[in-house]
Amino acid sequence: MVIIAQIQLGKQGITENFISTLKEHFKKKKIVKISVLKSCCRDKKELKGIEQTIKDFLGNTFTTKSIGYTITVRKWRKTKG
């Protein structure tokens, strides 16, 4: 059974504290769902930029997928792409 962690991304956007919290969740979990609040971004282009920024911060062993205003980040053992 896979346990999924959930966090929210608010109006402050991606900060050092948010990235460190995200990395802490990946020490125990393989999948983290990030709920992007409307106060953070209001259109899909901005959401794609946020998704790419998160992927750049975490590295090649992580993949991202966005559905609606939820970004799912998954950790793999080997590097992807």
pLDDT of residue 64: 94
Q: Are strands 31-36 and 70-75 parallel, antiparallel or unpaired?
A: antiparallel
The closest alpha carbon to 81, from 65, 63, 67, belongs to: 63
| Residue 77 belongs to some domain of the structure | no
* Both structure tokens of 57: 């911060």
* Rounded alpha-carbon distances, angstroms, from residue 25 to 8, 33, 36: 13, 10, 17
| Residue 79 belongs to some domain of the structure | no
| Residue 42 belongs to some domain of the structure | yes
Give the single-character DSSP code of 68.
T
3-state secondary structure of 75: strand
* 42-80 pLDDT per residue, tens: 889 999 999 999 999 998 899 999 999 999 999 987 666
Residue 3 has pLDDT above 90, yes or no: no
pLDDT of residue 1: 64
With cut-offs at 50, 70 and 90, classify the pLDDT of residue 34.
Answer: very high
Domain region containing 36: 4-67
Number of structural domains (the chain) is 1
* 19-30 pLDDT per residue, tens: 999 999 998 899
Distance CA 74, CA 62 (A): 6
| Residue 76 belongs to some domain of the structure | no
